[in-house]
Structures are given as C-alpha cells and as structure tokens.
Structure 1
Amino acid sequence: MTYLRTITAATLLLLVTLSASAAEHTKDTLEQVKKRLADKTAVLIDVREQREWNAGHLKNASLVPLSKIRKGTNPKVTSKDVIIYCHCRSGGRVIPAADILQKRGFDVRPLKAGFEDLLKAGFKPAK
C-alpha cells in the first residue's frame, strides 16, 4: 500500500511540475506586440528553419530556429529584460522554443499567430 501511495504522489508531483513549466501563447494583443517592437522594449524572433525563412520572413525579425535553440543558441538581445516575441508558421514550434528560453531566464512570449497571420495583421515582410 505504501508503494502505491508513493507512486501516486510521484505521478501527481510530476504532472503538476510539467504543467507549471509549460509555456503558453501570449495574451498580448498584436497591437501591443507592434507597439513594443516599435519602442524597442521587445524583439521578434522567427523559430522556423532557414529554408522557411528564405522563402519569406518579417521585417526586423531575427532567425533563431528551434533546432538551434535546442542545441544551445540564444537570441541576441541586449538584456534579459527585453521581451522576446517568437513566431513560426502556425504557432506550434513557439511553445517548445519558449519553454527552453524561459528556463534560460528570458522573458519569452510565444505568438499564436503564424507567419501568414502576422502578415495579414499588418506586420511588414522583409524585402
């Protein structure tokens, strides 16, 4: 019986820990994102891969692919106080990217809107 309680307690602790550390899409509006990017209190990173970036990317975004974040690459920011908004094609890769970068001490806010959605919302493409 003690063994069963120990296993149950360990499982519950693991579930609570995992759910508490998981990043979520930001609740910041796209207008708030644009304002913070304009006033330089935030930066925008694209966590897609190089081939996707080459096919088109947003003006003033920096490429930091999820594959490289997983290998230890960090965004180039002047301070960990700078907000990092991250985006990808459809909003799926930003969550693991944010989890990793948040554990490294960055203020990361993953965008649910993907690349095409951001273009439709008025974010400018790079030329």
Structure 2
Amino acid sequence: MNLVVRNSLVIVALVFAGFGHAQGADYTTDSLDVVKQQVQEKKALLVDVRDQAEWDRGHVEGALLVPFRKLQKGMTQADVERVLPKNQIIYTHCAVGARSLGAAGLLKDYGYDVRPLQQGYKDLVKEGFPVSK
C-alpha cells in the first residue's frame, strides 16, 4: 500500500473514531525547503508529536518533543504556552502525518500559527533534515 493511501486511511479512521481536531487543521502547503529555511532563520519551530520511545530512536536535530498523547490527555493551554512560543510558526510532524494533523488542531485552538506536515520523520530525514539521537 503506498504512503498516500495509507495516510489517508489512517486519517479517515481517526476522524471516525472521534479524533475531532483532525478536522480543524489542514496540512501545510509549505515545501520542506521552506520549512528548513524558516527553522534555520528561527522564524519557525519543528515540533515532533510522536511518543517518547519513537523520539528516543531518533529525531530531527533542534526539534522539540511534545507528544500528541500528552496534548490530548492532560496538557492545558498554560502547559503548552510554557513550552511553545507564540511568536514562531509551529510545524508539527509525526511518523506518517495523522498525529501531526491532530496536534495542529489542538494548537490552533490555543491560538498558534501551526502548520502540520504530512511528511513523517523518515521523509524529513530523506530530505536532509539533520538527525539527533
């Protein structure tokens, strides 16, 4: 099954399972080159919304870990505001794009300029984002 079809099926399943915030955000149209540039210029922050175990196996250098599960189940708006700046674009990413979209919906509700990436961690690595372990 190709990546686009798999991602679409995951998103549809999550929406039908009550993943309401997936409807509140759309994937960014910013290219990965634009994302890299925005992050390098400190105009944007890359936020990894995967779980801690996934992060521990490898993550994009300079990214910030804010697991989607924590956002969903316990991080208040005040908690999020202590971790994420409001003066930067927030690019969310995960493994295949579904959690990125859900996290973006939550962050938009908190007033962030958030742009979820459809590309997952492995895609970012393939496109030259530096890896940290």
TM-score range, shorter chain: 0.7 to 0.9
Tell me the TM-score normalized by structure 2.
Answer: 0.76
Letter of the 2:50 counterpart: R
- Matched with 1:119 is 125
- Matched with 2:35 is 33
State the percentage of identical aligned residues: 43
Q: Cα distance, 1:81 vs. partner?
A: 2.7
Q: 1:56 is matched with which residue: 44, 55, 58?
A: 58
- Matched with 2:6 is none
Taking the aligned partners of 2:98 and 2:105, their CA distance within structure 1 comes to 12
Tell me the TM-score normalized by structure 1.
Answer: 0.79
Taking the aligned partners of 2:84 and 2:53, their CA distance within structure 1 comes to 23
Runs of 4+ in 1 over 6 A off after TM superposition: none
What is the root-mean-square deviation in Å for CA atoms of aligned residues? Answer: 1.7
> Structure 2, unaligned stretches of length 5 or more?
1-19
1:85 match: secondary structure: strand
Deviations 1:7-45 (A, max 9, x none): xxxxxxxxxxx89x6201100000100000000000011
5 Å matches for 1:88-107? 88-107=94-113
1:74 match: secondary structure: helix
> Structure 1, unaligned stretches of length 5 or more?
1-17
Letter of the 2:66 counterpart: V
5 Å matches for 1:60-99? 60-70=62-72, 71-72=74-75, 73-74=79-80, 76-78=83-85, 80-99=86-105
Deviations 1:65-124 (A, max 9, x none): 00111122426234x131000100011101110000100011110001100000000101
Structure number with greater Rg is: 1
